[in-house]
A = this chain, B = another copy of it.
Amino acid sequence: MEFDIKSYIARNRAEIDEALDSLVRGPDSPPTRLMEAVRYSLLAGGKRLRPILMLAACEAVGGDRRRAIPVACALEMIHTYSLIHDDLPSMDDDPLRRGLPTSHVVFGEATAILAGDALLTDAFRLVAAGGRAAGIDSAVICDIIEDMSAAAGSRGMIEGQALDLALEGRRGASLSEIESMHSLKTGALMRTAVTTGARIGGASDGEISALASYAVALGLAFQIRDDLLDLDAASDTGKAKGNDARRGKSTYPGLAGVDESRRRMTGLIHEAVARLSGFDERAEPLRQIAIYLGGEG
């Protein structure tokens, strides 16, 4: 029987959605405006790509994917916080996200900032508490916290966002500057999704390193695809079309052209899949995710 990637993604996404829902809707979740803002953004129907990659990486090394679910939810919380803060008026000033008004439009700027702060802080709590409840060894949890915080911190995602703001509107950004920015802003979190899943699954250092290379290539391919979608009138990202160009953002297709961007994206997808050559059929979900993301673009 063929491996059905669409149903794999749908199944895992539903499982993550359910876990996230029970985290922030439980009977002991306080009925505050802050938590309302947290729920609004966290349960707004994301693709859950990072948690799905984490579960798939855990499976790829023969681990029990269920043990990765709390930590996968924590990573989605970190991703969601970054979206709330990136959308703020002083940052990208985006009024829409996935077709819905952004957090600061609905709740005001102060609550949006605090909701992001809460998601980030509570995510680390979930890794420590939920990870232990799921039976992950304390030393592995410390490795995971180091890995995730490095990916999200001042030398990872946050520096990527700072570079993105610095490049905005600046003429003459090079392709390599754009790639560096994306590898921090988007790639770092995708890398930690995969390496964290591998750690939970008990991976060797060699496996973690191969999976990190897979994720770096995939992350960049994913970002080029996102830039292409932004140009595409058929885009259903829920954002105004051609946002990037309108805002003077340098994008991969803007600098290299659409055809070259597609070629680069396809090359990166092949590279990602090639990095999995040492893994057996349990890495099939990771392979198919890469191919699926490439094809969608």
Contacts and interface: CB of A to CB of B under 8 A. Distances in A.
A116 B161 CA distance: 13
Interface residues of A, number: 50
Interface string A9-52: 00000000000000000000010111100100000000000000
A181 interface: no
Nearest to A130: B146
A178 interface: no
A112 to B, nearest CB: 8
Number of copies: 2
A117 B83 CA distance: 13
Interface stretch (A120-128, A213-221, A230-238, A275-283): A120-128
A166 B120 contact: no
A289 interface: no
B91 A113 contact: yes
Interface stretch (A59-67, A95-103, A151-159, A242-250): A151-159
A166 B33 CA distance: 10
A77 to B, nearest CB: 11
Interface string A60-98: 000000000000000000000100010010110000000
Contacts of A154: 30, 34-35, 38, 118, 121-122
Chain A contact residues: over half helix, strand or loop, or mixed?
helix
Contact of A149 (B38, B121, B137, B155): B121
A34 B118 contact: no
A151 B33 CA distance: 19
B121 A161 contact: no
Interface of A: 30, 32-35, 38, 81, 85, 88, 90-91, 108-111, 113-114, 116-118, 120-122, 124-125, 127-129, 131-132, 137-139, 141-143, 145-146, 149-150, 152-155, 158-159, 161-162, 165-166
